[in-house]
Structure 1
Amino acid sequence: IEAMACGTPVVAFRRGAVPEIIDDGVSGWIVDTVEEAVGALRRIDSLDRARVRQTFEKRFTVERMCSDYLALYRALTSGTADAVAPTNELSRNIAMVAVPG
């Protein structure tokens, strides 16, 4: 996320939250093998750094994430958590962990 904030495309292995963070072919490349990583590095210049930054701004700014967290916390404390429509993958994952049953 920090690299994307600087407009730097990311090449990362498909592990953990990587598929939820990187928009494959937009903000970087998600790879499964070293060979794929090498290939992705060869075409890294095809990604638009301004678009990488725009992707970050759309999904990961402090304001955006705080807004999502607050909406989720309000729903959880009001008992309407099932009615929450998460606005991104991060809040969707938080909702799945935080809402029992």
Structure 2
Amino acid sequence: MVLDNFSPHKHAEVRAWAADHRVELVFLPTYCSWLNWIEAEFAALRYFALNGTDHRSHDEQNAAIAAYVRWRNARAKPKTNFAPDSPIRSWTEYPAKAA
């Protein structure tokens, strides 16, 4: 699981849960949020639903966000084989996919 360096992510309870569930916690380097795919999604949300707006209420703002998320989800495609030629792939061994 890819995480930023938000301090609760490093809490002993989180680490214990991850160990119990065979989840590897991978922390992004400081100031490298661009490495986390979800950050790009948040940037697009901000650009398309929030920038340059003056919502009169939280309900109006929430409706704009929900409309963008519905639009985005209707057009979403799975991210597969990301950067297949990246040297990073040779630095990390990934388990074989189950058949």
TM-score (norm 2): 0.29
Bigger Rg, which one: 2
TM-score (norm 1): 0.28
| Higher percent of residues as helix | 1
Higher relative contact order by CA 8 Å / sep ≥ 6: 1 or 2? Answer: 1
